Amino acid sequence: MTTKRPLVIVTRKLPDAIETRMMELFNCRLNLDDSSLSQLQLIEAVKTADILVPTVTDRIDARVLSQAGPQLRLIASFGTGVDHIDLASARQRGISVTNTPGVLTEDTADMTMALILAVPRRLSEGERLVRAGRWKGWSPISMLGHRIWGKRLGIIGMGRIGQAVARRAKGFGLSVHYHNRRRVAEEIERDLEATFWEGLDQMIARMDIISINCPHTPATFHLLSARRLKLIRPHCYIVNTSRGEVIDENALARALAEGEIAGAGLDVFEHEPAVNPKLLELDNVVLLPHMGSATIEGRQNMGEKVIINIKTFVDGHAPPDRVLEAMF
Find the shortest distance in angstroms from Cβ 265 to ligand 8YV. Answer: 15
- DSSP 8-state secondary structure symbol assigned to residue 247: B
Q: Which of 293, 305, 313, 319 binds ligand 8YV (CB under 6 A)?
A: 293
By CB under 6 A, name the one of 79, 120, 154, 162 that touches ligand 8YV: 79
313 touches ligand 8YV by CB under 6 A: no
Instruction: Classify the C-alpha dihedral 156-187-301-85 as positive or negative.
Output: negative
Helices (H) and strands (E) in the chain, counts: 13, 12
Does residue 272 carry a catalytic annotation?
Answer: yes
Q: Give the interface segment with ligand 8YV, choosing from 62-70, 72-80, 257-265, 280-288 (CB under 6 A).
A: 72-80
**Residue 197 binds to ligand 8YV (criterion: CB under 6 A):** no
Tally the C-alpha atoms within 13 A of residue 213's C-alpha that lie toward its C-beta: 33
Q: Active site residue: 168, 216, 243, 299, which one?
A: 243
Tell me the HSE value of 317 on the side-chain side, using a 13 A CA sphere. 9
**Amino acid at residue number 293:** S
Nearer to ligand 8YV, 34 or 283 (CB): 34
* Binding of ligand 8YV by 263 (CB under 6 A): no
Determine, following the binding rule CB under 6 A, whether residue 244 of this chain makes contact with ligand 8YV: no
Burial classification of residue 200, based on how many CB atoms lie within 10 Å of its CB (0-12 exposed, 13-18 middle, 19 or more buried): middle
Active-site residue 297, yes or no? no
Determine which residue in the list 27, 36, 55, 71 makes contact with ligand 8YV, applying CB under 6 A: 55
Catalytic residue chosen out of the listed positions 19, 44, 260, 272: 272
Give the Å distances, CA to CA, from 25 to 52, 194, 212, 311. 15, 45, 38, 8
Q: Is 122 a catalytic residue?
A: no
CA distance 127 to 119: 12
Active site residues: 243, 272, 290
> Binding residues for ligand 8YV, per CB under 6 A?
55-56, 78-81, 104, 292-293
